[in-house]
Amino acid sequence: MAEWKDFKVSGVTANTPKSIMLGAGTLYRGLTFTKGSSGGQGSWAGEIIGATSGGTKLSITPEITDVDVDGVLVKAKGLSFKTGEKATIETNMVELTKDWIKAVVIGKEGASEDSRFTVIESDAHISDASYVENFGYVGFMTDGTPIVIIFDYALCTSGLEAEGKNKEAAVTPATFECYAELSAGQTDTLPYHIYVPNITA
């Protein structure tokens, strides 16, 4: 029987344990990195949005347009073009705050007759304040190393849905989509950033 040593029985390498993301991760608003002074390490800072239950899902999907050419009967290199993309973060928030409600309904604060409450009302327009700036998702590898995803501008496109049940915490699912800024002049790509840690042996 011939011996086949050219192929591995698994894709596992010594770096595999360091490259596995584990856990639900954390959501931030205003997540930015500040460089350290005089060659220092620098630091990340942002405001935690809240606690989740049921995890968070990141989806980045390019839109591909295939050009039909007579005689070309299969997909061919050079005839497919990227004509757009969509980036979303879907989450399940178990913590209900006024800022979260205002973000998911695209609302605004109104005048409350009762000083013990803040009133959130519908906003007729999508303004700059409707977008969550530097919307960040931070996941963690098995060794605690973070992987950071940032949308420069994110808008909730799913609205508010909450269902109260006996002996269960109410969870509000939400989908945030990444948006480009017109004034930046770069409207052919979405302003998302994925910071992948450099693996060291």
Alpha helices in the chain (DSSP H): 98-105
pLDDT in tens, 11-55: 998 888 888 888 899 999 999 999 888 777 889 999 999 999 999
Q: The tokens of 132 are what?
A: 């969550």
Give CA 151 to chain center in angstroms. Answer: 6
Q: What per-residue confidence (pLDDT) applies to 33?
A: 95
Short-list 143, 149, 128, 141, CA closest to 46 = 149
Burial class (CB in 10 A: 0-12, 13-18, 19+), 123: middle
Q: What per-residue confidence (pLDDT) applies to 62?
A: 97
Q: What per-residue confidence (pLDDT) applies to 41?
A: 84
Q: What per-residue confidence (pLDDT) applies to 200?
A: 63
Q: What per-residue confidence (pLDDT) applies to 3?
A: 80
Q: Round to whole Å and give the CA distance between 126 and 107.
A: 9
Q: What per-residue confidence (pLDDT) applies to 89?
A: 97
pLDDT in tens, 153-191: 999 999 999 888 899 899 999 999 999 999 878 889 999
Domains and CATH numbers, the chain: 21-195 (2.30.110)
Distances (CA, A) of 74 to 66, 68, 77, 79: 10, 10, 10, 10
Q: Round to whole Å and give the CA distance between 29 and 132.
A: 6
pLDDT in tens, 79-96: 999 999 999 999 999 999
Whole-prediction pTM value? 0.89
Rounded to an integer, the average pLDDT of 50-61 is 94
Average pLDDT score over the chain = 92
Cβ–Cβ < 8 Å for 189, 181: no
Q: Round to whole Å and give the CA distance between 109 and 127.
A: 14
Q: Round to whole Å and give the CA distance between 189 and 59.
A: 15
Q: What per-residue confidence (pLDDT) applies to 201?
A: 53
